[in-house]
Chains A and B, each alone.
Chain A
Amino acid sequence: MTSTTLDGGAAAPAEGNLKSRLRRAERLRKLKAIGLVAPLALFLVVVFVVPIGSMLLNSVDNGSLRQVMPQTASALAQWDGEGLPGEATFAAFAEELRDSRRGGGLGSVGRRLNYENPEYRGLLMRTLMGLPAESDDWRATLIDIDPAWGETATWRGIQAAAPPRTDRYLLASLDLERGADGEIQRVDQQDRLYQAVFQRTLVIAGGVTLICLALGFPLAYLLATLPAKTSNLLMILVLLPFWTSLLVRTAAWIILLQSNGLANQTLQTLGLIESPLQLVFNRTGVFFAMVHILLPFMVLPLYSVMKGISPSYQRAAVSLGAHPFAAFWQVYAPQTLSGVAAGTILVFIMALGYYITPALVGGPADQMVSYYVAYYTNTTNNWGMAAALGSILLAVTLLLYLVYHRLVNRKQLIGS
């Protein structure tokens, strides 16, 4: 005991010295490592982090009313939402409405206000036409031009568009809205859409993942156990789909699966069916095309894991008295778990974002979240909704991933 303490005391200064030398030696190595990853890191920031960040921001951005009509916005921020706002607010609004025509801000304000109520654009135009140069009583003047300005709801709509941030898009993406009293509530039955879309997206992605696993697992096993010559040939067949464009492959499925397509004709010739089956422009078509495209992403990670599992494990199990099937399930399959985990998460996440394939081979009831994101960006220019749907999809994906990661990690801990 004593000698240990003495030794420790004597070694301490030398040890400190050693540590600083180690740190110096490590510093250079770290700098080199940072230098090596810097280009990639920069690339990722520019094309990944920034766009995603701005998308997340877009989903809560309340539009341009605040820029175009700053005084109206701040005046309405004070208003309690009862009765009508004060004369000062009317005056500021009239002033800024007139100015907005010159700056070109009117269009964007109109678009934003139309999300509150589609009457707004017309109202703004009418008001602008009738707006006098001067007025002593702007409140009366405006109500005179259009009685809508005498209604509390009109001003509440503008007030809702005034703050810099809003949750209306995120709420709308979940079929929710704020009621007249500001409480969150579900939208009317006939307007509900997105909860069903998210549910459908998860169901399709999950189904595609399961089918890919069911088809890919035996295939990967075959690839990993066949002699190299045969398995290389099969591997080329697995990778073949990558050599053709996604659009071409999807179009090919339409041709194959349509009512007078090859599949239906063959089945009819064989006498298995009497009238053509509806195989495309519905859920069946979506599954066919998506499974076909995503299967390699399941097979490759499974194959690489299976390739590393020595056949002697199964032989050992059999020599210990296990039936070959039992040996497979009890000894081989658990060792493939990391590959199953990688393959399913890869396919699932890719499937969640699918848009072109369901759009081409699915029916109206098979469109996934990405379809609506594309619709809002390309067709209606509603960046807020597009971003909100995207953000929620991202959040759901991350959440599922975390849950999955915990589940698999616990299992894998057993595996390694």
Chain B
Amino acid sequence: MPNPSNDPSPDPSTSLIRFAAVQKTYDGEQLVVKDLNLAIEPGEFVTLLGPSGSGKTTCLMMLAGFEVPTSGDIFLRDQRLNSVPPHKRNFGMVFQNYALFPHMTVEENIRYPLKTRRLPAAEADRKVSEILDMIQLRDFAKRRPAQLSGGQQQRVALARSLVFEPQLVLMDEPLGALDKQLREQMQLEIKHLHEQLGLTVVFVTHDQSEALTMSDRVAVFNDGVIQQIDTPSNLYEYPANAFVAQFIGENNTLAGRVESVEGERCRARFGEGLATGALLGPGLGVGDATHLSIRPERVKLNGAARALPNRLPARVHEFIYLGDHLRVRCALPGNDDFVARVPVDDFDADMKPGDTIELGWRDEDVRALDAP
């Protein structure tokens, strides 16, 4: 398997947090978290990514201590966390709606965790002042949260969760309420804070681009199960299964069957009488049903496709102009909505919707993944 990091899960003896066979059910009927094993290294930025309802928040709440695992253990270094109450865990936490205390000023909000820790006033003053400078909200210190913009509230929530130098920072979709531009700016700010302060962060989001932008490692959740934990680039380039391929980035899928296997490679049939070479995904053998996954940017058109080993004709539905590139939507046997992504410079202006074009790709651009 051409996966550069064969074992992405770190050595458990050095990890800061470890979920060991954690299960969770709320109603005693359905497991919301099915068998969670996850280790987080000190200084790491780990993102829990997955569609809504996949159990990400539940995992975070168990880590924070607001929910109790139905079975299994969570460890902080070698200490079992299950019996440590949430206010003794010393984790910073940022909530989706920020949960800034409306009856306190910005400064009082930020000072709150220092007050609960009975820090001497002078030291608390210094810390609050430092962090106000860091988030550039010194002039807003005396305002109440309701008098701040969404982005400013977000910064205050961040400052409040960092001011007491927690050993771990938990964030549950903290950027969900911001508009796109502000969200992207805050993604970078959080990322930079993580690097500057050497924080360990567990971040929850359903936005894959956010996860890819910020994280050292991403755990992709579906249905209470981690589908894959890996670095952003490995997730993108080497998805472990069809769900991950579909969820991370844009993806074309062709339903097929493995015909022959040769080491890491295989040949798969799809459509009616078509075949392509592909990289063999984990757990597949000859005769298995497979989802062939091809990224749109790996698909070449006409002239550029001529020298490639896998070629087939397709009928163009439409072109979508996106500034730096074009998306070509076309139909081919087995997939009516197949997308190729073409740089604007490579585009042949004579092509029209309805034309038949030739698509091509290399064997290593296709991954044969198990069909869910």
Contact = CB atoms under 8 A, between A and B. Distances in A.
Given A322-B87, A324-B87, A415-B102, A317 B93 contact: no
Nearest to A321: B116
B146 A416 contact: yes
A48 interface: no
A319 interface: yes
A189 interface: no
Given A324-B87, A335-B102, A415-B102, A319 B64 contact: yes
Interface stretch (A120-128, A135-143, A307-315): A307-315
A52 B191 CA distance: 67
Give the residue among A313, A324, A326, A327 with the most B Cβ atoms within 10 A: A313
Contacts of B102: 335, 415-416
Contacts of A320: 93, 112-113, 116, 160-161, 164
Contacts of A41: none
Contacts of A335: 102-103
A416 B92 CA distance: 25
B285 interface: no
B90 interface: yes
A94 to B, nearest CB: 75
A92 interface: no
A414 interface: yes
Contacts of A318: 66, 86-87
A334 B112 contact: no
Give the residue among B66, B100, B170 with the most A Cβ atoms within 10 A: B66
Interface residues of B, number: 28
Interface residues of A, number: 22
A326 B92 contact: no
A323 interface: yes
B113 A310 contact: no
A326 B66 CA distance: 16
Given A331-B101, A334-B103, A414-B103, A315 B112 contact: no
B308 interface: no
A313 to B, nearest CB: 5
B117 interface: yes
Nearest to A315: B66
A316 interface: yes
Interface string B81-118: 00000111111110111011111000000001100110
A323 B118 CA distance: 13
A313 B96 CA distance: 11
Contacts of A319: 64, 86-87, 89, 91-93, 161, 170
A316 B95 contact: yes
Contacts of A312: 95-97, 99
A319 B93 CA distance: 6
Give the residue among B89, B113, B161 with the most A Cβ atoms within 10 A: B113
B117 A317 contact: no
Interface string B116-147: 11000000000000000000000000001010
Nearest to A313: B99
B176 to A, nearest CB: 13
Given A310-B97, A319-B87, A326 B116 contact: yes
B87 A323 contact: yes
Contact of A321 (B66, B97, B100, B113): B113
A320 B97 CA distance: 16
Nearest to A314: B99
B281 to A, nearest CB: 40
Contacts of B93: 315-316, 319-320
Nearest to B101: A331
A339 to B, nearest CB: 14
B95 A315 contact: yes
Give the residue among A315, A319, A335 with the most B Cβ atoms within 10 A: A319
A335 B117 CA distance: 23
Interface in A211-257: none
A315 B103 contact: no
A315 B97 CA distance: 12
A317 B109 CA distance: 10
Interface string B279-318: 0000000000000000000000000000000000000000
A16 to B, nearest CB: 34
A187 to B, nearest CB: 49
B141 to A, nearest CB: 16
Interface in B245-261: none
Interface in A287-320: 310, 312-313, 315-320
B101 A313 contact: yes
B99 A321 contact: no
Interface string A405-416: 000000000111
Given A310-B97, A415-B102, A416-B102, A317 B86 contact: no
B101 A321 contact: no
Nearest to B91: A319
A321 B112 CA distance: 9
Contacts of B89: 319
B354 to A, nearest CB: 53
Interface in B46-96: 64, 66, 86-93, 95-96
Contacts of B116: 317, 320-323, 326
Contacts of B100: 316
Interface in B322-367: none
Nearest to A415: B103
Interface of B: 64, 66, 86-93, 95-97, 99-103, 112-113, 116-117, 144, 146, 160-161, 164, 170
25 contacts: A312-B95, A312-B96, A312-B97, A312-B99, A313-B99, A313-B101, A316-B95, A316-B100, A317-B112, A317-B116, A318-B87, A319-B64, A319-B86, A319-B93, A320-B113, A320-B116, A321-B87, A321-B164, A322-B87, A322-B116, A323-B87, A327-B87, A335-B102, A415-B102, A415-B103
**What are the 9 A-B residue pairs with the smallest beta carbon separation, nearest first?**
A316-B99, A321-B116, A320-B113, A319-B93, A312-B99, A415-B103, A322-B116, A334-B103, A318-B87
Given A316-B101, A317-B112, 20 more contacts: A312-B96, A312-B97, A313-B99, A315-B64, A315-B93, A315-B99, A317-B116, A319-B87, A319-B92, A319-B170, A320-B116, A320-B160, A320-B161, A323-B116, A324-B87, A326-B116, A327-B87, A415-B103, A416-B103, A416-B146
